[in-house]
Structure 1
Amino acid sequence: MVAATLKRTLVSVLVLIGSGLWVAALLIMAHTVQQSAHFSDAHPFIVGVNVAGLLVLLILIAGRLTQLVRDWRRRVVGSRLEARMVTMSATVALVPLLLVFYFSVVFLNRGIDSWFHVEIRQGLEDALTLSRAALDLRMREHLDRTRLLARQLAQDPLDPVPRLDEMRQQSAAFELTLLGSSSSILATSSDRPAEIVPMRPSEEAYMQVRQGRDYVTLDPVAGGGYLVRTAVQVPQMHPGDEPRMLLAIYPIERRLGELADTVESSYQRYGEKARLREPLKTSFTLTLTLVLLLSLFAALYGAFWAARRLVRPIQDLVAGTRAVAKGDFDLRLPLTSHDEMGILVHSFNDMTKRLAKAREEAARSQQAVEAERANLAVILARLSTGVVSLQPDLTVRTANEAAGSILDADMAALIGQSLARSGSPNSLLGQFAFACSGHLEAGQTEWREQMVLQGESSRRILMCACTTLSGEDGGPRGFVIVFDDITMLLQAQRDAAWGEVARRLAHEIKNPLTPIQLSAERLRRKLLDTMEASQAQILDRATHTIVQQVESMKEMVNAFSEYARAPEMDVSRFDLNQLISEVAELYRGQIRTDWIRLRLDTTLPQIEADRGRMRQIVHNLLANASEALEGMEDPRIRIETRHLDHSGGAAVEIIVEDNGPGFRPDVIGQVFDPYVTTKPKGTGLGLAIVKKIVEEHGGTIDADNARSGGARIRLELPLIAVDRTGGSARERRGGPRRERT
């Protein structure tokens, strides 16, 4: 900033100095036009100043022109406008300058030629001749008077001194001097008493007088005017008289002398100008040419300067608009003038201020919106209900975590993608997307439906609802689909219903079974011995069948009772790995010793649960697996335990996996329902009872097929058993409560 200020100051000083020298040169040239005698002295200065100014202007113009060409090639904003303005200004300045130059040169040449017109020269010569003739006439008159005085002196033999005074007064002479033969002064008379010694004649005057000729001359006087000097020989009246010479000095009238001087001076000046005629014309033409070029270059440089001064605010405005387009609203342009351009700059600055203020308000509004959006995102993230919002073209806009958890998919990766093409057809997400997009593509924007999604290892039942988001113009701005996983709710309802059915069936069926069995046994005892062999055989077979079927029905009723009742759990702490090993030993010898493989976590702590029910869980799982593996050449069962420590607290995971045929896809979501089984024998209550026991302990259970084939049951139990009322079993029994970790 300081360097730029110094540069501008230096340029301003140089411009002022150059302008002063140029004006001085013009004034000197105007002065020398009137006094051409001094033109030759001032001409080098004038030419030097103009040439120096031309060089400086050429350098400045070359620099500006180079910069303009460079900006033109680079397509700098304002370069074309600057070029047009410079061209127009140069053209506007060139035409009048050329006209003025042409007519100035013509007028100057004609004016100089008019100075030397023939009539003027002849008039000056005639005036000079006239003045010289008048002076010659005065000289002849004074010479004749001197001759007369000489004759009078020759005729008067008296003392010449008094006579000279009288003659001087009569002839109006300045001085009369009478000289002898040896140039001695015989007598003198003068009107200037201070001059004691009279002026002696020149050698030329002596020579002419001795040769018998009269002498007359015209001498200028210091301070102006002329004196006529005459010398004549005094006639000798008698032979032997001494030769004498009379000298006389006469004044010329002052007016006549001044006129003669004026004519002479004018003629001399005219002669000097006549000799300088062509050099003057050449010098003046050269000077005018330099002045023309200097004026033209000054106008051109002024055009560059004015164009730059006018274009600079435009460039600043363009740069400012580009900065504003990029989001820089803090830019303020310098206000360099108060004209229309200054008003435009002021308007631009006012606009940026308002834009900056609007941006701040928009930022505050955006922050408020983002805060509300963050709060909404937190709320949606904590919801157990799945929420998916769609664009009008069915592109996924947002989805919460619950949606991904329910649909078993990464919903964040689907944002920005079409819902209709999301997921594979067999996946939960694919089935959900197909059903929803079918409604929306059919124009059904408001609907509610219960969906059943069948996955490879699970089945989900969803309650879905869709609504429309209205835009500002009243049209749809998108859609929101809200859905809940009601699989567990429906399962709980079914479990409750089956429990009530099992209780009623156990009550209604168990009561008549004992009388039926007792009646069949009594008939056998009473009638078997009294009947014939063939009839006794029929009775024995019939009663045996009745008793056997009654026993089977009793087992079924007991299973119903076991499923329906929820007795108090006998909770204790025990080693789960040891219990699993004990139950597995009961099954090892059925086929071979290594068909059941245990992978038990040695770091697993003791679990708090009902030991008997845990034994029943392991027994039922091993029984189902062994029944599924009947008839296989290489049956295998793997039991694995792991210690889990997650946000829900410490837990134990039990996995029972076999290499059998696995669950059919159509029943995999219903394997824990009562009377659902794919085995040729069995009641279908085994897994239902296992699920019920696990839930009574506060755990979870799920079933799927392993990747290598075969069924897999995974259950997770807390290390501290929790009853269905939310308290620990130890607390329920009155023991000290232990907080879950």
Structure 2
Amino acid sequence: MTRMARWGWVITLVTLTGVAGVLAFVLTVGTTSERGLFERHYHWLYWVNVAVAAVLTLVILTAAVRLVVRVRRGRFGSKLLFKLAGIFALVGVVPGLMIYAVSYQFVNRSIETWFDVRLASALEAGLNLGRGTLDTMVSDLATKTRDAADQMADSATPQLLALERVRDKLGVRTVALVGGNGQILLESGGDTHQLTPDRPSAALLRQARGRAPASQLEGLEDEAAALEGGAQIRALALLPNTELRLGLGERYLMVIQRIPAPVVANALAVQAANNEYQQRALERVGLRRMYLGTLTLVLILAVFAALLLAVTLGNQLARPLLMLADGVRQVAQGDLSVRPVLASRDELGGLTRSFADMTGQLADARAQVSRTVAELDAARTHLQTILDNLTAGVLVFDPEGRIETVNPGATRILRLPLSAYVGRPLSDVPGLAEFAAALTQRFEQHLGPDPAERDMDRELWQESFELQLDPKQGPLALLVRGAPLPYAARLVVFDDISEVVSAQRSAAWSEVARRLAHEIKNPLTPIQLSAERLQHKLESKLEGADQAMLTRSVATIVNQVQAMKQLVNEFRDYARLPSATLKALDLNALVQEVLSLYAEAQEKGRLVPRLFPNLPPIKGDASQLRQVIHNLVQNALDAVQERPDGRVTVRSSLSLTETGAPRSVRLHIVDNGPGFAEKVLKRAFEPYVTTKTKGTGLGLAVVKKIADEHGARISLRNIHPPSDAGSPPEDGSEPPVIGAQVSLSFSNLAPATEPGAASAKT
């Protein structure tokens, strides 16, 4: 039972006890004959009823407001409580109102019938009759007193004797002569227990100063004294002054007549009956109010009891539902802690126990799922770590062909922001539409059109692809492996084999050069000697045009044999290029040594060195690097030979890390010539690739091979004018080429204290 329910029951018991006490008191008072009891206790009984009714009304209003607030807030079970409260309140109020209306009419009519209207009229008529009789006696005595005063003034009889005559004539108890100040001057008759009669009041004297006599009724205030003869009529009349004497003053004739005892008794009885009737009438109003107040209190109590019963029963019914609702809400929020259950053995208690069991099972299942997810996350993290550190590129596609997973190796190899295209097809990546189509076709060939005919013995396929992603750079050679994954996903793993292909091509060209040098060089000397011998034997025997033709033919043969020898020697040198012997050397000193061979070009301003001072030493082979620098500078000078303003700049620089430590030393050979052709940019480092009319095209191939021996990176690019130098072409093509640049980056640095680092002549 909740705290509010306990308080409700306490208030109900207290109220029932108070109402029972009030009703018992009312019944007790109704059966007693003590008069005026209702009048004495009516007020506090009334206010007790009002206080109890106010408390109950306040409790009912509080409960109603709380219930309305719960309904407006949408609390679970509030609508059910509201309906139950309304039903019970209706059941309690409607019959209560009917009983209240009937009881109200019954009380009013019952109490009204307790008092007879004719009796009230008779009492009123008797009271009026008694008052009229007494008034008549008072008036009659006043008239007789005035007449007696007039007669007494005209008579010459002594005053005492005149008073006796008046008393005998009027038949009254006392006759007295009173002075102007109310003093008794002369008296006749009187009471045995009182020597002199009471003096008249000042008001009666003032009233009697005129010609009209004054009279009043006395002694009826005290009922006991009146019944013992204390009721009397006092009359006072002014006595005319017939004597012409000064200083005599005003005198009054006072007559006191006793009221007969039966008349007094009847008058008092009528007055007492009237007073008692008025008291009864007052008691009737109080009793009616008391009964009506009690009925109202009982009605409010009935409504309160009905509401309390509705709240109690509603709580008993809604408590399991509220527990279930709270449990469902907490479960929805992820709280699967132990749920409370009801101890009752009914269906609702069983429902709460079943819900608690289900919550416990869900908690166990979630714990198992959490452990599984943690293990899966650990495995995924482990796998992701492996993927992030793989040099190979990895792509995972979902069943719809969208990119699901991509590792940094794929971004590094393809040089494209693949992570930004996760969730999209590979064909949306710029430049990879053909590659995506080729992958799809290769997977379809591997899996087969019919799942029943697929070769499941082959779990993966492997194929090489060549991509041209950047026109300014060479093609990208990829070795791609693909495998199907569960749920129709697909895995693609690829490696950049461009360097491997380049090395294979270099090795193949070395083998070709070696074979050419071996197969071609041997016949060249006999050919040259035979041609020279023919010229020597036949030149003297021929004359004129024949001799000239012989001389030209032999010269041609000798020149071509020399060219073939030079070609064979270059191929031999390319094939027999010795391994580099790496030692510490100063790159700036090596560059200055090579540029000293081009003093004339420097004097004309066509060759300009710009070397970064204090470069850290690098590890390299001085003889091979000298050949590299010589080849690059000569190629650049050849490129600007036809330009009158041609210039070649040899520049060195230093690249630093974030901490300021040296990272690499770079050498740039820049010219303002026509630049590299597109086919040269794509395959510049392959043998026999050149744009010159003379030469074998082995220069850059030798440079690339030496750079690889030194672990250096070499790159070629054309130089375009800056974007602010002019507006771009309207057709959207690239800006014109204004030069070319060849760059070498040496990351294999040597300590500055290593022997030989200060000199390049090693």
The answer to whether the aligner puts 1:452 opposite 2:452 as a matched pair is no
The answer to whether the aligner puts 1:21 opposite 2:18 as a matched pair is yes
Alignment correspondent of 2:698: 685
Alignment correspondent of 2:645: 634
Q: Please tell me the root mean square deviation across aligned C-alpha atoms, in Å.
A: 4.3
1:315 positional shift = 5.3
Cα contact 1:675–1:683 (8 A) shared by 2: yes
1:631–1:542 CA distance, 2 compared to 1 (3 A): same
1:384 positional shift = 1.9
- Residues 318-357 of structure 1: matches in 2 within 5 Å? 318-330=325-337, 343-357=350-364
Cα contact 1:57–1:301 (8 A) shared by 2: no
1:30 positional shift = 5.1
Cα contact 2:398–2:404 (8 A) shared by 1: yes
CA distance in 1, matches of 2:524, 2:475: 39
Letter in 1 for 2:698: L
The answer to whether the aligner puts 1:675 opposite 2:688 as a matched pair is yes
Q: Taking structure 2 as the reference length, what is the TM-score of the superposition?
A: 0.64
1:520 positional shift = 2.0
Letter in 1 for 2:464: Q
- Residues 546-625 of structure 1: matches in 2 within 5 Å? 546-587=557-598, 589-590=600-601, 593-625=604-636
Cα contact 1:606–1:719 (8 A) shared by 2: no
CA distance in 2, matches of 1:275, 1:620: 140
Q: Taking structure 1 as the reference length, what is the TM-score of the superposition?
A: 0.66
- Residues 65-144 of structure 1: matches in 2 within 5 Å? 65-101=64-100
Structure 1 range deviating more: 293-302 or 646-655: 646-655
Partner SS for 2:409? helix
Alignment correspondent of 2:521: 510
- Of the three residues 301, 304, 310, the one matched with 1:294 is 301
- Of the three residues 479, 486, 491, the one matched with 2:497 is 486
Cα contact 2:528–2:558 (8 A) shared by 1: yes
- Of the three residues 674, 699, 712, the one matched with 1:661 is 674
Letter in 2 for 1:687: L
What's the CA shift string for 1:541-586, capped at 9, x where partnerless? 1111111111111110011101111425454433211221232343
CA distance in 1, matches of 2:651, 2:374: 52
Alignment correspondent of 1:250: none
Q: How many residues align?
A: 562
Partner SS for 1:497? helix
What's the CA shift string for 1:392-437, capped at 9, x where partnerless? 33332211111001110223322234432223x4xxx555445446
Letter in 2 for 1:465: R
1:75 positional shift = 4.2
Alignment correspondent of 1:466: 482
Cα contact 1:603–1:643 (8 A) shared by 2: no
Cα contact 2:81–2:310 (8 A) shared by 1: no
1:373 positional shift = 0.7
1:311 positional shift = 5.0
Cα contact 1:449–1:465 (8 A) shared by 2: yes
CA distance in 1, matches of 2:29, 2:312: 34
1:577–1:15 CA distance, 2 compared to 1 (3 A): farther
1:51–1:547 CA distance, 2 compared to 1 (3 A): same
Cα contact 2:669–2:742 (8 A) shared by 1: yes
- Residues 174-213 of structure 1: matches in 2 within 5 Å? none
Alignment correspondent of 2:414: 407
Alignment correspondent of 2:744: 715
Task: List gaps (5 residues or longer) in structure 1.
Answer: 118-270, 722-729, 736-741
What's the CA shift string for 1:129-157, capped at 9, x where partnerless? xxxxxxxxxxxxxxxxxxxxxxxxxxxxx
Alignment correspondent of 1:397: 404
Alignment correspondent of 1:524: 535
- Residues 16-55 of structure 1: matches in 2 within 5 Å? 17-29=14-26, 31-32=28-29, 34-35=31-32, 47-55=46-54
Partner SS for 2:485? strand
Partner SS for 1:589? helix
CA distance in 1, matches of 2:366, 2:650: 65
Structure 1 range deviating more: 388-397 or 614-623: 388-397
Partner SS for 2:91? helix
Letter in 1 for 2:503: A
Alignment correspondent of 1:131: none
- Residues 150-299 of structure 1: matches in 2 within 5 Å? 280=287, 283-299=290-306
CA distance in 2, matches of 1:418, 1:641: 44
1:589–1:350 CA distance, 2 compared to 1 (3 A): farther
1:10 positional shift = 7.5
CA distance in 1, matches of 2:405, 2:703: 39
Partner SS for 1:655? strand
Letter in 2 for 1:699: A
1:438–1:706 CA distance, 2 compared to 1 (3 A): farther
1:292 positional shift = 1.4
Alignment correspondent of 1:210: none
Structure 1 range deviating more: 526-535 or 38-47: 38-47
- Of the three residues 362, 374, 392, the one matched with 1:385 is 392
Alignment correspondent of 1:652: 665
Percent identity of paired positions between Structure 1 and Structure 2: 39
Partner SS for 1:626? helix
What's the CA shift string for 1:269-306, capped at 9, x where partnerless? xx999996776556434422321122213423543565
The answer to whether the aligner puts 1:367 opposite 2:374 as a matched pair is yes
Letter in 2 for 1:300: L
CA distance in 2, matches of 1:275, 1:531: 181
- Between 1 and 2, higher relative CO (CA 8 Å, sep ≥ 6) is seen in 2
Cα contact 2:39–2:283 (8 A) shared by 1: no
What's the CA shift string for 1:90-137, capped at 9, x where partnerless? 1122233345545666777898899999xxxxxxxxxxxxxxxxxxxx
CA distance in 2, matches of 1:570, 1:536: 55
CA distance in 1, matches of 2:509, 2:474: 21
Cα contact 1:458–1:704 (8 A) shared by 2: no
- Of the three residues 696, 702, 708, the one matched with 1:695 is 708
1:678 positional shift = 2.9
